[in-house]
A and B are shown apart, each in its own frame.
Chain A
Amino acid sequence: MRLADVVSIVLLAGAIGAFAAGLYVLGEQRDVLALYWLVVGALALRASTILLRPRGGSR
């Protein structure tokens, strides 16, 4: 596996963790923190897939 592959999998795992944290703290009635984790999860997930296509998204 190349470095970018490892980074994309780490980002995917991070995104899953962030989404899970967002839902967890939503259950703890900490809405702002939940929103924060959901935004972090979305950014991490987006980054994990962007790494797969380095040339402007062309296939």
Chain B
Amino acid sequence: MMEQAASRTSVSVPGFARGSRLFPGVYAWATTVASPAFAREASTFSRVAAVAALLALGAGVFWPTRAPRLGRVLGIHAFVGLSLATWASVLHDGVDLAAEPLVAAFGALGWMIYAFGWGELRGPLTVPEDDPHVIPGAPLASRGTLGRRATIAFWLGLAGALSFVVLAFRVTRPTHAILAHAVALAAGLWVLGAATRVALERAPRPSGPSADRIAAGSGTLSALLIALGLGALWLLIGR
């Protein structure tokens, strides 16, 4: 039984894994590194660094699996480092890094897929419970359904975070639009985090009577009330 389980866990697809690292990497290299490095104005150093980056990628992908750490150093650190060196050199040579914006955009997509390729995924045909390191025991039961507070807080946070993104598109001034999108993103993430905490912090963890809990937040609540009071004053005096 154990042998059967071990044989199932050892099923791997190195060809697929190598392909998912090599092809996006080569595509990203060709569109964003080789393209400017082999421009007419580029220096020899830029071209040498670009070729070295490609060689590092190939070496990292095909490195023997007995020493995976060195393979990752070559395939990730050396490839990215040499690509950066190429870009720095190309910029020094006065070559435009993104002469074709659409190609550069697709190259950025290639970089993203390349990064995903180096991640660890559960291989097909493998069962997590067959792993020899698995902790035996009864499956953990879920804690049950979430309460009304959790549902309200979650949907409130989600709707709020999405509304920020929509509202940010109303800002038409270019510099302010960037600020609006940055604020929308930051506020959305913050609201989602706070909504999750409000939703999941359930009794008895938030212990103590309500009066104590509200008193604990009195400093921030006071600041909020002062800000609201100032706003009301501004509304009364300013108009």
Contacts and interface: CB of A to CB of B under 8 A. Distances in A.
A47 to B, nearest CB: 4
A43 B227 contact: yes
Given A19-B160, A23-B180, A54 B212 contact: yes
Q: Classify the interface of chain A: helix, strand, loop or mixed.
A: helix
Contact of B198 (A8, A22, A27, A54): A8
Given A1-B149, A45-B190, A54-B212, A12 B227 contact: no
Contacts of B163: 16, 20
Interface stretch (B50-58, B82-90, B115-123, B201-209): B201-209
A41 B223 CA distance: 12
A25 to B, nearest CB: 10
25 contacts: A3-B214, A5-B149, A9-B156, A11-B224, A12-B191, A16-B156, A20-B160, A20-B167, A23-B167, A23-B170, A26-B176, A27-B167, A40-B224, A40-B228, A41-B187, A42-B190, A43-B224, A45-B190, A46-B220, A49-B194, A49-B198, A51-B206, A52-B197, A53-B216, A59-B205
Interface of B: 148-149, 152-153, 156-157, 159-160, 163-164, 167-168, 170-173, 176, 179-180, 183-184, 187, 190-191, 194-195, 197-198, 201, 203, 205-208, 210, 212-217, 220-221, 223-224, 227-228, 231, 234
Given A47-B221, A56-B216, 15 more contacts: A9-B152, A11-B224, A15-B191, A23-B183, A23-B187, A24-B167, A26-B179, A27-B172, A29-B173, A38-B183, A39-B227, A40-B228, A43-B224, A50-B217, A59-B205
